[in-house]
C-alpha cells in the first residue's frame, strides 16, 4: 500500500494521474480559507489544471479557521490529496499537488497573517458555508454577534475570517502594498456582494478610514460553483485503497460534471482560468439564477420530501418513479419558465443533466446533508419561484408541497414518529413554531429572515395546510400523485437523458 507523498509520486503514476510538474516552482499567490471536500474537488482541481499547463504562478496555501484536523493529515502527505471522480461509466483518480502549505489559524495565527500580508498574495478565496458570512438580508452585517465583538476587542488576535482579512489589509495599507481580490466560492445568492458587506461591515466598526481604503483597493467578484461532492467518509478512503492500492487520508470523491463561473473583477490580475474551462464573464447573475432554480431549488425540494418518504440519498429519490415525476414536473412547470436563457445552458438540457447527476448512485449525496441549514436554503431556493408564481396568479402545488414537507420536518420527527436530527442555527424557534401550528402553518409564515415573503398570504396558508394534512393522512407518494397532472409526471419522458447528453456536448467548459 502506497501513501500519497512527494516521494511516492513516481510509483503512484502507474495507478493514478499524478502531477508531473516541479512542485517547488509553485508560487503561492492564492490563499484559500476553508479547505473542505468541495474545495479540494472543485477550485483546487482547476488550479491544478493551470499548474499542469506550466502556469505555476497560481499555487495556493490552505487555511483552516475552525478545525486543525487537516493540518497533520496534509503535512504527512506533503499537501497532496486525491480526487476520485465517479460516473456511470466508471471511476478515475488523480493526485492534486497545487497546494504548497496548510495553516491552522488556531495555532498559527502569525503565519496566517504573514501569508495574507505577503506582497505575492493576490487572491483570497473562501468556502466557509453560507452561514459563515454573518450577514442578514434585511439588517446587513450583524455587528453585535459575539464573535464580532470578540474580534473588535482584540483586533490583533483575530478569530473570524473578516477579522483576519481586516487585520491583514490594515498591515498591507501600512506597508504601502495594495489590496487583494476576495472571491467567495460558497453557494450564496450574490456571494460577491455578501462578502463585500461582511468585510466592510466589520472594517467600519473597527476603523472607518481603513474601511474606505478597503473599498478602493479590494474587489469582490461574484461567482457560481457547481460540483456534487458528498462529505468525507471512511468508505471513500477504503475504496481508494481497494481500487488503486493507495492510502490517502484526505481523499475526496466527486462526480464528472463541474462548472465554475466567475465575474472578471480582479484587482491584482487573475489566473487564466478560462484556459482550464472556467467561464469568466461580466455578469454571473443569469448563470446563477438558472442553477439556483434547477439544481439548488431541486436539491432543497427533494431533501425534505425524500426524507419523509424514507429515502436517505439523492440517488434513491431521483430513481423513485413517483419522486422523479415530481422533480420533472416541478422543474418543467414551476421552476424553469422564468430564468434567463443562455446558449450554453439550454434549460431542458440543463434540467435533464440535473436529473442524470442526481441519479448517479456512485456519488449519491446523503439527504441528511441536503437537509441542513433549511432556514437559509428554503428562502434562497424555494421561496423565490413560489412567490413569483403567487404574484403571477399561477398555481405551484409542487413547490407548496415541498415547503409543507420542510414545515413537517421541522417538528423533529418523520411521518412514522421517528426522531429526526435537525442541523439549523434557528431550529429552536422554528421547531417551537412547527409544533405549535401542527397542520396550521400560520406560526411559520412571516418568520423574520426566513419566510417574510409569505406574510399575509391566506391563499398559500390554506394550500400549505392542505399539503400538511395530506402528508399525514396519505404519505409522501400519494400526496405527490394528487398534485401531478393526469397522465404526466410519473415516468414521463418530458426531460430525458438524451437531451442531457446534448447539453453536455454543447457545454464543454469543464475542469481538466
Bridge partners of 33, per DSSP, are 63, 126
Question: According to DSSP H, which parts of 446-506 are helical?
Answer: 458-481, 497-506
Query: What is the per-residue pLDDT for 55?
Result: 97
Query: What is the per-residue pLDDT for 85?
Result: 93
Query: What is the per-residue pLDDT for 363?
Result: 85
CB 367 within 8 A of CB 306: yes
β-pairing, 223-226 with 259-263?
antiparallel
pLDDT digits (tens, 9 = 90+) for 445-497: 999 989 998 988 888 999 999 999 999 999 999 999 999 997 554 444 444 43
Bridge partners of 316, per DSSP, are none
For domain 285-506, say whether CATH 2.60.40.10 is its number.
Answer: no
pLDDT digits (tens, 9 = 90+) for 141-161: 999 999 999 999 999 999 999
Q: Where in the chain is the domain with CATH 3.40.50.720?
A: 2-281
Distance CA(388)–CA(383), nearest Å, equals 8
Side-chain-side CA neighbours of 362 within 13 Å: the count stands at 16
Confidence of residue 506 (pLDDT cuts 50, 70, 90): very low
Which class for 88: exposed (0-12), middle (13-18), buried (19 or more C-beta within 10 A)? middle
Bridge partners of 141, per DSSP, are 135
Q: Where in the chain is the domain with CATH 1.10.1040.10?
A: 285-506
Query: What is this structure's pTM?
Result: 0.86
In terms of Cα–Cα distance, which of 217, 231, 227 is closest to 259?
Answer: 227
512 pLDDT above the threshold of 50? no
pLDDT digits (tens, 9 = 90+) for 56-111: 999 999 999 988 889 999 999 999 999 999 887 788 999 999 999 999 999 999 99
Question: According to DSSP H, which parts of 37-145 are helical?
Answer: 37-41, 43-52, 69-76, 109-117
For the stretch 343-368, what's the b/e string if a residue is b when 16 or more beta carbons lie within 10 angstroms of its beta carbon?
Answer: eebbbbbbbbbbbbbbbbebbbbebb
Torsions phi, psi of 323, nearest 5?
A: -70, -35
Residue-averaged pLDDT of the chain: 91
Distance CA(371)–CA(378), nearest Å, equals 10
In terms of Cα–Cα distance, which of 283, 281, 285 is closest to 293?
Answer: 285
Distance CA(218)–CA(162), nearest Å, equals 13
In terms of Cα–Cα distance, which of 232, 257, 271, 186 is closest to 82?
Answer: 232
Query: What is the per-residue pLDDT for 499?
Result: 34
pLDDT digits (tens, 9 = 90+) for 335-376: 866 667 777 777 788 889 999 999 998 888 899 999 999 999
For domain 2-281, say whether CATH 2.60.40.2480 is its number.
Answer: no
Query: What is the per-residue pLDDT for 504?
Result: 33
Name 332's Cβ contacts closer than 8 Å, sequence gap at least 6.
Answer: 351, 494, 495
Within a 10 A sphere around the Cβ of 190, how many other Cβ atoms? 16
CB 313 within 8 A of CB 258: no
pLDDT digits (tens, 9 = 90+) for 6-42: 999 999 998 899 999 999 999 999 999 999 999 999 9
Distance CA(408)–CA(400), nearest Å, equals 12
- Cα–Cα separations (whole angstroms), residue 401 to 302, 305, 394, 407: 10, 8, 15, 10
Query: What is the per-residue pLDDT for 244?
Result: 87
Side-chain-side CA neighbours of 158 within 13 Å: the count stands at 24
β-pairing, 123-126 with 28-33?
parallel
Distance CA(205)–CA(435), nearest Å, equals 39
Query: What is the per-residue pLDDT for 337?
Result: 62
Confidence of residue 510 (pLDDT cuts 50, 70, 90): very low
Name 392's Cβ contacts closer than 8 Å, sequence gap at least 6.
Answer: none
Look at the alpha carbons of 286, 193, 102, 26 in this order and tell me if their dihedral is positive or negative: positive
Eight-state DSSP code of residue 256: S
Looking at residues 179-202, what average pLDDT do you find?
A: 96
Which class for 469: exposed (0-12), middle (13-18), buried (19 or more C-beta within 10 A)? middle
3-state secondary structure 144-209: CCHHHHHHHHCCCCCCCHHHHHHHHHHHHHHHCCCCCEEEECCCCCCHHHHHHHHHHHHHHHHCHH
CB 158 within 8 A of CB 65: no
Amino acid at each position: 500500500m502506497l501513501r500519497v507523498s512527494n516521494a511516492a509520486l513516481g510509483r503512484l503514476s502507474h495507478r493514478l494521474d499524478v502531477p508531473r510538474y516541479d512542485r517547488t516552482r509553485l508560487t503561492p499567490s492564492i490563499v484559500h480559507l476553508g479547505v473542505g471536500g468541495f474545495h479540494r474537488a472543485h477550485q483546487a482541481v482547476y488550479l491544478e489544471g493551470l499548474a499542469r499547463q506550466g502556469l505555476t504562478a497560481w499555487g495556493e496555501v490552505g487555511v483552516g479557521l475552525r478545525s486543525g484536523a487537516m493540518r497533520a493529515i496534509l503535512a504527512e502527505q506533503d499537501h497532496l490529496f486525491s480526487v476520485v471522480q465517479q460516473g456511470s461509466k466508471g471511476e478515475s483518480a488523480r493526485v492534486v499537488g497545487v497546494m504548497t502549505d496548510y495553516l491552522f489559524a488556531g495555532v498559527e495565527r502569525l503565519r496566517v497573517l504573514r501569508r495574507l500580508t505577503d506582497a505575492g498574495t493576490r487572491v483570497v478565496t473562501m468556502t466557509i458555508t453560507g452561514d459563515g458570512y454573518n450577514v442578514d438580508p434585511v439588517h446587513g452585517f450583524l455587528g453585535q454577534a459575539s464573535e464580532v465583538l470578540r474580534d473588535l476587542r482584540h483586533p490583533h488576535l483575530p478569530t473570524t475570517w473578516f477579522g483576519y482579512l481586516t487585520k491583514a489589509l490594515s498591515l498591507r495599507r501600512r506597508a504601502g502594498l495594495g489590496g487583494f481580490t476576495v472571491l467567495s466560492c460558497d453557494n450564496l445568492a450574490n456571494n460577491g456582494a455578501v462578502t463585500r458587506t461582511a468585510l466592510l461591515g466589520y472594517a467600519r466598526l473597527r476603523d472607518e478610514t481603513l474601511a474606505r481604503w478597503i473599498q478602493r483597493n479590494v474587489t469582490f467578484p461574484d461567482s457560481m460553483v457547481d460540483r456534487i461532492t458528498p462529505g468525507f467518509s471512511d468508505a471513500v478512503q477504503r475504496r481508494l485503497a481497494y481500487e488503486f492500492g493507495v492510502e490517502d487520508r484526505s481523499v475526496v470523491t466527486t462526480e464528472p460534471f463541474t462548472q465554475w463561473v466567475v465575474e472578471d473583477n480582479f484587482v491584482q490580475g487573475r489566473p487564466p482560468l478560462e484556459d482550464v474551462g472556467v467561464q469568466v464573464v461580466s455578469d454571473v447573475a443569469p448563470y446563477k439564477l438558472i442553477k439556483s432554480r434547477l439544481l439548488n431549488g431541486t436539491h432543497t425540494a427533494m431533501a425534505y420530501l425524500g426524507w419523509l418518504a424514507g429515502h436517505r440519498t439523492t440517488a434513491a429519490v431521483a430513481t423513485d418513479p413517483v419522486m422523479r415525476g415530481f422533480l420533472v414536473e416541478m422543474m418543467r412547470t414551476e421552476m424553469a419558465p422564468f430564468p434567463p436563457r443562455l446558449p450554453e445552458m439550454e434549460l431542458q438540457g440543463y434540467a435533464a443533466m440535473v436529473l442524470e447527476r442526481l441519479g448517479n448512485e456512485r456519488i449519491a449525496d446523503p439527504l441528511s446533508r441536503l437537509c441542513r441549514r433549511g432556514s437559509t436554503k428554503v428562502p434562497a431556493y424555494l421561496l423565490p419561484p413560489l412567490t413569483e408564481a403567487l404574484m403571477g396568479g399561477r398555481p405551484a402545488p409542487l413547490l407548496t408541497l415541498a415547503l409543507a414537507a420542510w414545515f413537517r420536518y421541522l417538528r423533529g420527527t418523520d411521518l412514522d414518529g421517528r426522531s429526526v436530527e435537525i442541523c439549523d442555527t434557528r431550529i429552536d424557534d422554528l421547531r417551537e413554531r412547527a409544533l405549535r401550528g401542527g397542520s396550521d402553518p400560520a406560526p411559520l409564515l412571516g418568520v423574520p429572515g426566513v419566510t417574510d415573503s409569505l406574510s399575509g398570504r391566506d391563499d398559500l396558508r390554506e394550500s400549505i395546510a392542505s399539503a400538511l394534512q395530506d402528508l399525514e393522512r396519505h404519505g409522501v407518494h400519494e400526496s405527490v400523485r394528487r398534485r401531478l397532472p393526469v397522465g404526466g409526471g410519473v415516468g414521463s419522458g418530458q426531460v430525458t437523458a438524451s437531451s442531457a447528453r446534448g447539453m453536455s456536448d454543447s457545454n464543454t467548459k469543464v475542469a481538466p
